[in-house]
Structure 1
Amino acid sequence: MPSSTPPRPKVDLLSFLRSRLSQKIVLSVFGSIVAIEGLILIPSVMRRQQELLEGLRQQSLASLKVATVDVKTTDEVVFPNQLLAKLSRLEAIPVVVGGSLYNARGELIGSFGEAPTMTFSDFSAEEDAVDFNPNLDRYETAQSFPLVGIPHWVVINHDTTSVRREVGAFVWRIFGLVLLISVVVTLTTMVVLRAVLISPILALNDDLLEAAPAALNEENTTMQPFKSLRYRYKKDEIGAVICAFQQMFERISTNIAQRQQAENQLRDSENRFRTLVEQAAESIFVLDQDARILNVNQFALDSLNYERSELIQCRLFEINPAFTPQDYDLLWQRLQAGMPITIESVHRRKDGSCYPVEIRASFIKMTGAQQALALVRDISDRKQAEKAQARLAEIGQLAAMIVHEVRNPFTTVYMALSTFQTMELPPRGKMRLSLAMEESERLKRLLNEILAYSKEQKLAEEAIEINDLSRELLGSLQDSPAAVDKNIQLTTPSESLVVKGDRDKLKQVLINLVTNACEAIPAKETVTWQLQRTSQQLIEIQVHNGGDPIPPEVLPKLTQPFVSTKANGNGLGLAITKRIVEAHQGSMTISSTAHEGTTVTVFLPLSTNLINR
């Protein structure tokens, strides 16, 4: 915003005179003064001219009286010619150029010098008739006076050259005075207008030109103050206009700043939303009521191998051969009723190949129009996984059947071998019988594990204190053949760790993990077995051994059936362990490096009762 102490604006005379308003005002003032003085000058000139002409007339009249004084006082009869000769003396006067004499009957007695143009009919009706001809510099006057007791008329023709000069000089004097007055008044008006009106207006004009870019400037919030603000304290309309301009600018700047901020936020939101849509790992379609595709994201284009220009305005049926117009109409009606829909269908790529999809459709309103928003997910992997799971289920059922079929004759063979153990046999026969019994035991364990893996993990759930269960198993594990000459170090927390699960199956998990760890280390080494509670309300069970690391290429497959690092292992122990952990809503991870050894970590959810305690 502008500060309260704006600098004094610099308005020089040239900028003042370049102002169209000042030019109009100055010209108007100057013209008005000239016009007024002109109106005053014309009567003055006419009055001055009349005064000068009257002076000529009075001068000639006085001379006439002098010239005819002896005629009035003599008793002799004056003849017309003698009287005319006396009147011709008037030519001695510089301003008199001629004259005429008329008797009472209007008869011309005679003329002298330059005869006047005025006749008896022109002046007989007036006592003091005059005739002024400025073009010829002549002024004629008619005087009536008695001569020797008889009325006569004398017309005198005057030279008005001196009058014209005097009037011209008078006009120039008055014009100079008028011009001087006009210039003084105009300059005074200019000075006053410059301070009172023009300077504030020019400053306001400059400020208006700067206001728009200043209001739109987002970065420069502390711009230079406006020049016109120094006039805002004037107690007139100019001050009111400048105050109104300041208020208007502040409001506009605030509104523009708020709008720009809102636009920037909206633009950022749109960009974030567009980025999310474009980078979404699912295809997104926007369709109208006619099943025409209005918009798609990049993932959809990549999935279908189309360009955007090719796919936009296509109809859904071109990429979804399983959909008919009737199906879409029914879908649209369900969406209008506010019912989001999830269906499975098929999409067809540009090359004609098809793949299964899951479509989740909902109803939206954009730009006042009703549209359908569809999120489409490629479920090819899920379908393949379902098929693989179905095949595995079939294989599991087949394996269970085979195990049952094999166990019956195997039991007979095993019983027969057991019977042979009670008989006296030669050393070679005893050696072969011992080998047969070992293989029979291994086969028995394999059949049991295959049967356990193929069965669904059904849990007989109860509240189990893992610390107590671990301490209970520690003694028997320490005495097992795998732990001979090896140490098992169990660490349990002071707090109770209760899980809801199947006791026997959790025993099997702990026995498998600790036994595998013992088998992986040489004598005199230690297996660490640690239990603790995590911040995510989970029980963490860690079993660590410092034996040889598991090869990196084997580690990801270690929980798969029939994958083992042991020479005599069948690869089902960890697979069964993982299935039991997952049946308890837990998880299992295995890490192994040459520096840190191998660590198996099992996470089991804490019992709800313990969490709420």
Structure 2
Amino acid sequence: MTHRLTSLKLTRRKRIMIYLVLCYVLALGLWIPVTDHILKLYVSDIELLTHLQTAKGLFTVLLTAIMLYGILYRNLFKMELYEKQLEESAECYKSLVEHNPDAIFSFDLSGNILTANPVCEKITGYRIAELIGLNCMQLVTDEGREQVREHFARSVKGEPQLYETKIIHKTGHLIDVRVKTAPILLHDQVVGFYGIMTDITKQKQAEEELRATKETLESFVNNTSDGIIILDLQYNVLQVNNAWQNMLGWTAEEVIGRKLPSVPEEYIPVVEKLHQEVLAGGRITGFECRALHKDGQPINISVTISPIRDANGDVIAFAGIVRDITEKKRVEEALRESEAKYRLIAENMTDMIGVTDPQGIFQYASPSIRTVLGFTPEEYVGKRRIDCIHPDDLIGCQQALARTEAEKIPVGLEFRHKHKDGHWVTIEAYFIPVTNENGELQSIIFVGRDRSELKKAEELLQKSDKLSLVGQMAAGVAHEIRNPLTALRGFVQLLQSQTQTADHQQYFQVMLTELDRINFIVNEFLYLAKPQAVNFQRKDLNMMLLDVISLLDGQAILNNVQIKTDFSSDIPYITCEENQLKQVFVNILKNAIEAMPTGGNIEIQVKLQDRNQVSIRFIDQGMGIPPERIPKLGEPFYTTKEKGTGLGLMVSYKIIQEHRGNITIDSEVDKGTVVEITLPV
């Protein structure tokens, strides 16, 4: 476009020069014949005429020389100078266009691109050779074309335009640009347009992010449950959010531009001091005080005050976060009253109460500890006191505590604790976890009572229950003895009628087997009936259950009951007192048989619950137990049987507890009962 305009200007200048030369030649052509005719007409002297014509020729030559110098030479010199200036101007224009940080281009009245600088390549992705001849509308999105056409129409009228639009990069993604267009005038006619295009994609993204951040911040401020207020340095309200208005009753229109109305008079000096601290660059966090509601009622609040600074770091305003803690204060007061009441109860009851942290260190001990164990509460607080637990019971206590911490459930156990004078006291205790709102263990409450005397009574009851059990099992043992005797009698009669030969040795073997069975049953019966010393040993649980089933199989047959087993093969050995566990299994299995007077099936399942526990389940099809009676099972002299004493289950519970296990009973009337025993491996 620059060379085209330069060429147009030079052609015009040449035409003027040619026009002047032609005028001079025409004038000179008229001058010579006219002057010759005048001289011949008025001068008759030949010599004078010759001198005048010579002078006229010299004058003509001189005038021609002057004309050539004045017109041709000077114009040619000026033309050369002008061309040089044009060339320098073109170089400057080229440098300005090619090194401009913005995209500069030109296009004709149809929108076809005529020139483009290198930045156009960077913004559009097209090479300059691809851009030349390309119509501008091909780079604009469908949505932006109408807008570009409107600005294009105004540009045709000679009006510069500035607008923003989106263009399509060569790769297909959209770019936000700001475009400024100006008309190119030639002889006061618009022949094309110059355009300057700036990539504002990052600016638009920043503006969008700023807008989103502003909206998020405004949404947070307006929707947070805490009241937010902004004050200037003279304590005039600049802004409040919805929570502040709801909390204190004033609307934004009532307080903005005015002094803060919610400060009681007694707090004004305190507020002045706090503001001075914030003005000095400090920050006030969680300051508790009272504020006045619009209706005049005081409310308890917690205030956090922070400075707002300008770009120079000077404090220009205060930001306050206000939280209503009236309900919190009421709850705290109620908790203090409740704590005082429970402390009064704890310090005057006979049961021992202690509170430990998750590491087992006592934080509180009730005065009843002195009565039961001889120690003062001060001798417990701040200590663990595991050295006072009997060594044989220490592992059980640690396991109970570990279960309380892991499962967050109360765990009961019995252990021996050393009295201050040296003897051992049997303690029945419960570890109760205390958790926070996140389910994290905060502390453990220990509740214990002296079980020494009751322990002795339970041992006597256990011995009595064994004797009662022997009498109740007599019928079953008699039946078991009767069956082998019948077989022996039949084979003896057979031997009497036949000659004894080697072919009849198999009958002797049957007789020996039945005799051994009688001997085994009688030995087991006597073994259980005789009081035994507690001796924990590693035993095979499946074998113990098979022994008990053999013992009660006769009674089951008499009651038309089938006993089925489902034993896992991977059950490890357990540490137990075999006779006591057999007694528990006999009690439960005997109860299941008696609960099915019309017969049925009993299934015994043995499964490994996890690596640390094994489950034994007795499932019968008996009459079931009403739900309201289940919680009372195991209490002394409480029974569901007509002639029962209730001691069997009580002793069974006690034995399982001593084995650090648990018994659960689930029953449904007319459908059956499931008794589950869990024991540690």
Instruction: Give the TM bin, normalised by the shorter chain.
Output: 0.3 to 0.5
Which of these two proteins has the greater Rg computed from alpha carbons? 1
Q: TM-score, normalised by structure 2?
A: 0.32
Q: TM-score, normalised by structure 1?
A: 0.35
Larger relative contact order, structure 1 or 2 (CA cutoff 8 Å, min sep 6) = 1
